[in-house]
A = this chain, B = another copy of it.
Amino acid sequence: MGSEEEVKVIGSCVSPFAVRTMIAFNIKCVEYKLIEENIFNKSALLLKSNPIYKKIPVLIHGQRPICESLVILQYIDEVWASGPPILPSDPYGRAIARFWAAYIDDKFFAAQYAILKAGGEEGQKAAAVEEATQILVLLEDAFTKCSKGRKFFGGDRIGYVDIALGSFLAWIRVIQKMCGVSLLDECKTPMLFQWAQHFCADAAVQDVLPETDELLEFAQLFVANLGKPTG
């Protein structure tokens, strides 16, 4: 499969996981066709392309579907290897990046989801916020080690861990507006606070992360539908 085949992404900018794919293609300067998915009414193409998880994003390269956002990021980095790299060039750097990206999906996503799910349950919400904050404090420490004084986890350029965490920034803003919770705190995690500004200002990210009000509308619908089957 060559890098010149047709590139389609089943996704939506409301999904942080789909946003990752879009940022990666922007970094690589690769044109792709976005097939907008409605997660409340899943398309036949999505169900056929990702029968296991039935989730976005799916990258369709030529005729072949590739699922799971972190798998897709690595695939993009390997196929379009002539563009700027997404993963570090050395095996140890790649191992550390894979570790933290998996950690973000395992822990931070769950904590963010728990805040949304808690709704008006103040005790549950406080516990979920505390959990998310602890995770971000750990990531602040990881940032110091990975970035070595530079702007990004990936160094001077946005890399794998930047994309993994940065894809949640729009949801962090929505949670602030919806739940009155400031997750990325200038006092508790000053480096990540600054990192977030750099990340959002990057040319590969700017037009991809959704506006807060636009995402807020979706988030309210999403929370109202929590627990209901989505097809």
Contacts and interface: CB of A to CB of B under 8 A. Distances in A.
A75 B66 CA distance: 22
Contacts of A75: 91-92, 94-95
B98 A71 contact: yes
Nearest to A61: B92
Interface residues of A, number: 25
A41 to B, nearest CB: 25
A138 interface: yes
Interface of A: 1, 52, 61, 64, 66-68, 70-72, 74-75, 78-79, 90-92, 94-96, 98-99, 102-103, 138
Contacts of A52: 103, 138
A61 B79 CA distance: 29
Contact of A1 (B1, B67, B92, B103): B92
A229 to B, nearest CB: 18
A52 B104 CA distance: 12
Given A66-B95, A68-B98, 16 more contacts: A1-B92, A52-B103, A52-B138, A66-B92, A66-B96, A66-B99, A68-B102, A70-B98, A71-B95, A71-B98, A71-B99, A74-B95, A74-B98, A75-B91, A75-B92, A75-B95
Contacts of A78: 91, 94
Q: For A61, A64, A96, which residue has the most chain B Cβ atoms within 10 angstroms?
A: A96
